[in-house]
Chain A
């Protein structure tokens, strides 16, 4: 349903943009309005392209001016100085800016240390470096500025303002379409997952590097196209006028104001900010524009970081009603101002309504009780699960795996294997290396030495998403859900990027099946922050099995639970195993291990101390000494 609404909105914008020049021919309204609208469209393109990287993926960029500047100077040099075909030059400008983006991405996204804040700070430098280069080379600018003559265009599109409006419309529509398509497909959802928890996304099979490159490439391409187009309108470009604060600042304020999570957020922000700027300028307050923008940015970040879009969608009828009635009312009365100030007044009134208290976030009705009463179905009879006979050959074989953290030897040559259908309990005292082993098998860490074969394929050195695609899924001891996505969508992302990838709609439908398997069906529309620890741990499991793994690594999936919740979790694990997934269970609670495991591996100080049948291993004196001695007073037995 939402799907269709988006297309309808996009189509309406497209038709509206097409009608404006037609209407202008007919009614002959002032050329100023074409210029005004073109200004909005320029910002729509810039802010939307910025939002694809910085809003969707959370890799915040202060460097939009670099992409914009590449577009501007491509037009200035190739068309202005050398007289190339302007249409071709627009495309070249887009491609060059995209290449710049991909170059920055290839550098920055390779480094795992280069997250969030550091990336943002690095992007502060890009426009200044480009400005230095442009100023340095006389072939580009040399500090003198470049004249961009008026291009020749078809008579049909005359005068220039109409021609420029058409070009701006085309780029803005392209930007919105790309942003919308990404919002509706895996390309956007990969970025949402990256924004919430990049490591967890990678572990679920999201090729994070690839998708970040797509995002920064799209950011560069559209930013460059738009920069090349606007250069035609500028007539004269200079280093100071191009690589300044304006573009990076405006796109940030617009997107923060509109919404960074929604494809149309930057559009909304662009309409607001450009109209406001226009009002400030016509009122003689140019000197205040940065102050006003700065104040808006600070207040929004402190009070409403989610932006206007979220407010409007909460009370759409009221917002729409106020907007239309103020705009139409002022238009009919004609007692004050011009159409742009009517628009400004309508926008302002709508914003005030949106920010009125009272329409607080709609909290989905939660049913958190009654979850673990065992009424989700008959408890499975463990004996009904076919015992593994090893005839399929080993699923996972780890040989002599060692891991050093500086001088600390976390693992000192661990060899173990998992046969299809097994549920191996991996136990050991704190610091024995259990979680390190999980991290190595899932690809989050690479071992210092050793080999790990999955179905005979070496997986050491593969990126986590590759390992996920080969059939290993893991959960985290402290759940790491994608906090801005609902419980259902958390699972849907895992399906979209799992071993049998599906589209968004199909994934959402299929997600219910996995939620039912772990007993979370009733919380499908809640946000992870609204459910309790036990439910988040169940979500971890649902998300992991949604990738269709052959082997599931459960890292202390029952830590911190009460006895009733533990019983429920045990039952869920049995159900997962019954569905044909082999499991390695890292667990402290011996009761749980004894109940579930077909075999036990005991780690102590980075080596395998003992392994075998749960009953026998636990009687081994060495195990008793290393493990039970410290756990003898543990509850649960």
Chain B
């Protein structure tokens, strides 16, 4: 495999991580929550896809008809809880960490700690690939990239062109002023968190289509996804996608050159470099108390 193919292949895979980062980044930027439970919802989305496709004979992609509304509800409920208890940015990190490990254990108890994947006849996509020019791409990767791009474009559109989107932006910049202008932040926050949950369901489905799952998968995703959130700029929708592509491409090339174990090191170094060279603007600061 050439470096170019590795880069393109990695970038396409990275776009899926960009999609995983999308909900987190918006929650952090606009709602001031660092919601590790997002990873729990992605995990649930993945396992539900496997389960529904295997046991009900649904097409894996079609399972999002069930999982997206379900996880919309879960995401909205978690946010409503954060609102109810007036949870600070930092405490949201700890509480959602608790929710994540609860989910990991529940998933382990239901589906065992072994790798879960759909049988080839349930998930025919996994074996297919598409030749574009000189390159061959597995169908799951292309599907993930297509969904990621579509959802990012949709999110960007909603944010820029709709009342709710603009209200969210206003709210992300200054909660009190936005509230004073009559923006119902609770409703907006719950809706956004719900949408994040739905996006987690889709991301989970895309992961399940492409690769096997274990209950501890979230802890393999966290590092890379947060690298993307930080590189892309917290709350920056398009930036998240670009960062996903970048991180994916870099990991692809690094994995080819030095082996897969080296890519987390490189991604981590990227984050540190970003923090050194572009700290301001990327990192909204809390006001002093």
Contact = CB atoms under 8 A, between A and B. Distances in A.
Contact of A132 (B101, B219, B230, B261): B261
A294 B99 contact: yes
Contacts of A113: 275, 279-280, 282-283
Q: Which of B90, B97, B104 has the most CB of A within 10 A?
A: B97
Interface stretch (B59-67, B166-174, B263-271): B263-271
B83 interface: no
Contact of B261 (A121, A136, A256): A136
A531 interface: no
A148 interface: no
Contacts of B98: 293-298, 301
B279 A111 contact: yes
Interface string B59-100: 000000000000000000000000001010111011101111
A529 to B, nearest CB: 10
B220 A298 contact: no
Given A128-B223, A297-B97, A288 B105 contact: yes
Contact of A287 (B109, B216, B220): B109
Nearest to B288: A480
Contact of A290 (B93, B105, B264): B105
A197 B288 contact: yes
Contacts of A478: 288
B94 A297 contact: yes
Given A113-B275, A121-B226, A129-B265, A294 B105 contact: yes
Nearest to A528: B289
B34 A291 contact: no
B124 interface: no
B223 A112 contact: no
Given A125-B223, A290-B104, A297 B275 contact: no
B99 A112 contact: no
A125 B268 contact: yes
B94 A124 contact: no
A292 to B, nearest CB: 9
B257 interface: no
Interface in B221-236: 222-223, 226-227, 230
Contacts of A302: 85, 87, 95
A114 interface: yes
B101 A117 contact: no
Q: Which of A135, A244, A287, A289 has the most CB of B within 10 A?
A: A287
A118 B87 contact: no
B95 A245 contact: no
A116 interface: yes
A291 B264 contact: no
A200 B101 CA distance: 36
Given A128-B223, A293-B101, A117 B34 contact: yes
B102 interface: yes
Contacts of A122: 268, 271-272
Interface string A490-528: 000000000000000000000000000000000000000
A118 B230 contact: yes
B261 A249 contact: no
B220 A128 contact: yes
B57 interface: no
Band of interface residues on B:
35 or more
Does more than half of chain A's interface fall in helix, strand or loop, or is it mixed?
helix
A124 B279 contact: no
Contacts of A249: 97, 101
B265 A107 contact: no
B104 to A, nearest CB: 6
Interface string A159-203: 000000000000000000000000000000000000001011000
Interface string A109-152: 00111111110111011001100110110000000000000000
B101 A290 contact: yes
A50 interface: no
A478 B288 CA distance: 9
B102 A117 contact: no
Nearest to B222: A124
Given A199-B288, A249-B101, A478-B288, A297 B264 contact: no
A298 B288 contact: no
A68 interface: no
Nearest to A136: B261
A287 B275 contact: no
B226 A60 contact: no
A331 interface: no
Interface in A82-113: 107, 111-113
A458 B92 CA distance: 44
B132 interface: no
B168 to A, nearest CB: 20
A128 B262 CA distance: 11
A115 B90 CA distance: 11
A347 interface: no
B106 interface: yes
Contact of B105 (A62, A200, A291, A298): A291
B162 interface: no
A43 to B, nearest CB: 17
B227 to A, nearest CB: 8
Contacts of B272: 107, 122
B108 interface: yes
B105 A287 contact: yes
Interface string B34-54: 100000000000000000000
A133 B216 CA distance: 19
A122 B216 CA distance: 18
Contacts of B85: 302
Contacts of B285: 115
A279 interface: no
B219 A298 contact: no
Interface in A593-628: none
B285 to A, nearest CB: 8
A278 B195 CA distance: 41
A109 to B, nearest CB: 12
Contact of A252 (B91, B94, B280, B289): B94
B279 A128 contact: no
A298 B261 contact: no
B1 interface: no
A483 B289 contact: yes
A301 B223 contact: no
A305 interface: yes
Given A129-B265, A288-B105, A112 B90 contact: no
A591 to B, nearest CB: 29
25 contacts: A111-B275, A113-B279, A122-B268, A122-B272, A124-B222, A125-B222, A125-B226, A125-B268, A129-B264, A129-B265, A129-B268, A132-B264, A136-B262, A245-B219, A287-B109, A289-B105, A290-B104, A294-B105, A298-B98, A301-B87, A301-B91, A301-B95, A301-B98, A480-B288, A483-B289
Given A132-B262, A295-B98, A302-B95, 12 more contacts: A120-B93, A129-B264, A132-B261, A197-B289, A252-B94, A287-B108, A290-B101, A290-B102, A290-B104, A298-B102, A301-B87, A478-B288
Interface of A: 60, 62, 107, 111-118, 120-122, 124-125, 128-129, 132-133, 135-136, 197, 199-200, 244-245, 249, 252, 256, 287-291, 293-298, 301-302, 305, 476, 478, 480, 483
Closest 7 CB pairs of A and B: A113-B279, A290-B105, A294-B102, A297-B98, A298-B98, A125-B223, A132-B261
